[in-house]
Chains A and B, each alone.
Chain A
Amino acid sequence: MTIAVCLKWINASGQTDVDDDRFMGFSYADQAALEYALRVAENTNDEVIVVTAGPVGAEAVLRDAIARGAHRAVRIDIDRSHDSATIAQAIAQVVAHCALIWCGDYSSDRGSGSVPAFIAAELSFAQALGLVEIQVPADSLHPIRALRRLDGGRREQLEIHGQAVISIEGSTARLRRASLKGSMAANKQAIDIVTVNQVAIETPPTRAYRPRARTIAAPVGSSALDRVKQITDTSSAKGHGETVHLEPREAAELIVNKLREWGYQS
């Protein structure tokens, strides 16, 4: 099988607006993704392909990844000014045959972390996004287990079966160093180039971002003071909290209804 790692070519010096080949690299999150993909592939004997979208200078990160153990590299020759959905669409077409698609959860150049989700949506793959810990399976018979960060310090345990997009936070794994011989060989490795014309891009219509208005129910109370307090008082619990025990379907329905009632959804 083949597993893919998506690497974003960014300015490693932290200057987000400067594209200077000398200062470019890939983020800690992408480094962690590459490291975990290599660890998994070692145990499952999978092939690792690394993918980046960008100009010819971006091939440096692909060679770097090959020096560290990736087997093949593909550069999608595309203008990086495209939005995340378009870039994800292009990547999706290159990695559609892969069992797992590894990404950093978001890049350090103002990345929003949307590309992994877009890729999963494009390919109808399962998503395991924003992971903080990976248990690398001993062989291809066992699934990958992972921990996902939730609010309030909670963690969700995941088991990954079938085709999936995995995104991982930075600094969760230290990327291995390339061997000297590996670096020398990587300089000579051929890199596949996919041009944008080969990748059919469907640009979805975009419109300006306009947040939805939130309707808040009128406060109830006998006196005006009570009503004002109800809106402004922060010291007492306003209490949306309510404990119920329901089947998932009914629970979901209740949540949606409550959200609507509280004005979070129209």
Chain B
Amino acid sequence: MTDTDIIVVGAGPAGSCAAIAAAKAGKRVVLIERGPFPGSKNMYGGVIYPRILDELIPDWFEHAPIQRWVVRRSTMLLSDTGAFNIDYRSNAWGQAPYNGATAYRPDFDNWLAQQAVAAGAELICSTTVTGLLRDAQGRIKGITTDRPDGDLTASVVIACDGVNSFIAKDAGLYKSVDASNYTLGVKETLSLPKSVIDERFGVRDNQGVDIEILGGTSGVNGGGFIYTNLDTIALGVVLKLPKLSAQKKRPEEIIAELKRHPAIAPLIEGAEVIEYSAHVIPEAGLDMMPKMVADGLLVAGDAAALCLAAGIWLEGVNFAMASGMYAGQSAAQAVTAGNTSASELQSYTKKLNETFVLKDHKKLRKIPHLVLSDRVQHKYPGFVTGIVERMFRVENPHPKPGVRRILREERKKAGISLMDLVRDALTGLKGFG
């Protein structure tokens, strides 16, 4: 007899959704969190797309502690002094059935974990899982923790222990760990009065803005972001790890330079840093994903590298919630069937393959590499802003140059060969499908 049916390690979005799904299926679930409360270890650069919660918590939008609904979505290309911005606004995104929202993870994740408790899961905080228990056949049968008398047995362990997932590594599910598959996200939470944020970003009430930035990261491959909360702005950069150390620029210096950019500085003028935070992101998508199933073990969320970093689409929490939910459902089915072997638990991978979780990743497989490639990072922002700069600069009495001439000259100035341009365009077109 095991202590419980299912142990979920980590009460982030993946873990809590796994716990909700398994508890709703009538299983005994223990949800273990190493922080003093769920969400206390979690930060992101981001937006939550919570529609996947419809299945588990139908009225989530009435209760989820969100900051603002994103109604303006911008993609910004920064050169040293210029900024090219594609901005789309839709107030419909701020009404049911809603789209993306900004939220503080210590609020959102804690709320989600409380939904798991309400569904019947048992939440244990301030407990770090230190390893896996195995039976004589090597089958996983539970966990060890850093508490006295801290072993706990179960039929299935669901590892939702985040990007560093020592459980997935301990179980041998990762082939190798390569720093180039990861990026470092650092961010500042900047305090400004709500009225000032509303005015500067052209929104009101709980409407919010999401700005994704390419360029402006001081020569380090990566990107930047700005999100509006009610009375704070989240501003940060995402940096490709091996490049970061090669450039000899520290993360906070790169943030500082982004904040000084003439297109960014007026947005945040007078804002005070009220919290600095950092986290690692699994960036390489399908190419870094571990095996997600072993005998008695499932892996979900960041622990399974289920994070979509595809340039114009940057999503993670929704992939975590979905994979967690499917893991919880598969685990519950396996417990009911009395067989929690890897082959029985494959229903989880099947489900991931049938849904957006892996479909999006397969479709966009090449995009993370393209976005973080040197050309896209260092040449295209200058190329695009150079074109726009010349197209809209009126230099009378000189007549306007032709667009083709500008394109040719700017391409040469940026040092991009026609071949490369065509190749990247094709990769992009194919990749974005």
Which A residues lie at the B interface, using CB under 8 A? 12, 22-23, 25, 176-184, 187
Known A-B contacts A22-B37, A187-B122; A180 and B110 likewise in contact (beta carbons under 8 Å): no
Check if B30 is an interface residue, CB within 8 A of chain A. Answer: yes
- A residues in contact with B333, CB < 8 Å: none
Contact across chains for A180 and B40 when beta carbons are under 8 A apart? no
Give A245 to B232 CA distance when docked, in angstroms.
69
The contact of B147 among A12, A23, A183, by CB within 8 Å, is A183
Which residues of chain B from 145 to 167 have any CB-CB distance to chain A below 8 Å in the complex?
145, 147-152
Return B150 CB to nearest CB of chain A, in Å. Answer: 4
Check if B289 is an interface residue, CB within 8 A of chain A. Answer: no
Contact across chains for B106 and A179 when beta carbons are under 8 A apart? no
Give A178 to B127 CA distance when docked, in angstroms.
10
- A-B contacts besides A180-B147, A180-B150, A183-B127, 10 pairs, CB < 8 Å: A22-B110, A23-B36, A23-B37, A177-B147, A178-B147, A179-B148, A179-B149, A179-B150, A180-B124, A180-B127
Q: Chain A: which residue is nearest B39 at the CB level?
A: A22
- A residues in contact with B145, CB < 8 Å: 180
The contact of B148 among A22, A23, A25, A177, by CB within 8 Å, is A177
Return A262 CB to nearest CB of chain B, in Å. Answer: 51
Select the residue from A25, A181, A183 with max chain B CB neighbours within 10 A: A183
The contact of B124 among A12, A25, A184, by CB within 8 Å, is A184
Give A207 to B242 CA distance when docked, in angstroms.
67
Known A-B contacts A22-B40, A22-B106; A180 and B122 likewise in contact (beta carbons under 8 Å): no
- A residues in contact with B123, CB < 8 Å: 187
Give A125 to B152 CA distance when docked, in angstroms.
45
Give the B interface residue count (CB, 8 A): 17
- A residues in contact with B147, CB < 8 Å: 177-180, 183
- A residues in contact with B149, CB < 8 Å: 179-182
- B residues in contact with A22, CB < 8 Å: 36-37, 40, 106, 110
Give A59 to B305 CA distance when docked, in angstroms.
38
A-B contact pairs, 8 of them (CB 8 A): A22-B106, A22-B110, A177-B148, A179-B150, A180-B124, A183-B124, A184-B30, A187-B123
Q: Chain B: which residue is nearest A176 at the CB level?
A: B148
Q: Chain A: which residue is nearest B35 at the CB level?
A: A22
Give A213 to B147 CA distance when docked, in angstroms.
57
Give A25 to B123 CA distance when docked, in angstroms.
17
Which B residues lie at the A interface, using CB under 8 A? 30, 36-37, 40, 106, 110, 122-124, 127, 145, 147-152
Give A153 to B123 CA distance when docked, in angstroms.
46
Q: Chain B: which residue is nearest A183 at the CB level?
A: B124
Return A219 CB to nearest CB of chain B, in Å. Answer: 54
- B residues in contact with A184, CB < 8 Å: 30, 122, 124
Give A22 to B39 CA distance when docked, in angstroms.
10
- B residues in contact with A23, CB < 8 Å: 36-37
Return B239 CB to nearest CB of chain A, in Å. Answer: 29
- B residues in contact with A178, CB < 8 Å: 147-148
- A residues in contact with B36, CB < 8 Å: 12, 22-23, 25
- B residues in contact with A187, CB < 8 Å: 122-124
Give A177 to B122 CA distance when docked, in angstroms.
19
Give A183 to B125 CA distance when docked, in angstroms.
9
Give A184 to B149 CA distance when docked, in angstroms.
12
Return A57 CB to nearest CB of chain B, in Å. Answer: 12
Give A66 to B150 CA distance when docked, in angstroms.
16
- A residues in contact with B106, CB < 8 Å: 22
Return B119 CB to nearest CB of chain A, in Å. Answer: 15
- B residues in contact with A25, CB < 8 Å: 36
- A residues in contact with B127, CB < 8 Å: 180, 183
Q: Chain A: which residue is nearest B148 at the CB level?
A: A179
Return B156 CB to nearest CB of chain A, in Å. Answer: 18
Return A16 CB to nearest CB of chain B, in Å. Answer: 17
Return B47 CB to nearest CB of chain A, in Å. Answer: 23
Return B155 CB to nearest CB of chain A, in Å. Answer: 17
Give A180 to B123 CA distance when docked, in angstroms.
11
- A residues in contact with B122, CB < 8 Å: 184, 187
Q: Chain B: which residue is nearest A181 at the CB level?
A: B149
Contact across chains for B152 and A180 when beta carbons are under 8 A apart? yes
Give A177 to B37 CA distance when docked, in angstroms.
17
Return B293 CB to nearest CB of chain A, in Å. Answer: 26
- A residues in contact with B30, CB < 8 Å: 184
Give A187 to B29 CA distance when docked, in angstroms.
14
Give A185 to B150 CA distance when docked, in angstroms.
13
Return A69 CB to nearest CB of chain B, in Å. Answer: 11
- B residues in contact with A183, CB < 8 Å: 124, 127, 147
Return A10 CB to nearest CB of chain B, in Å. Answer: 14
Give A177 to B147 CA distance when docked, in angstroms.
7
- B residues in contact with A177, CB < 8 Å: 147-148
Return A193 CB to nearest CB of chain B, in Å. Answer: 20
Q: Chain B: which residue is nearest A22 at the CB level?
A: B37
Give A176 to B152 CA distance when docked, in angstroms.
20
Give A12 to B106 CA distance when docked, in angstroms.
16
Give A187 to B127 CA distance when docked, in angstroms.
14
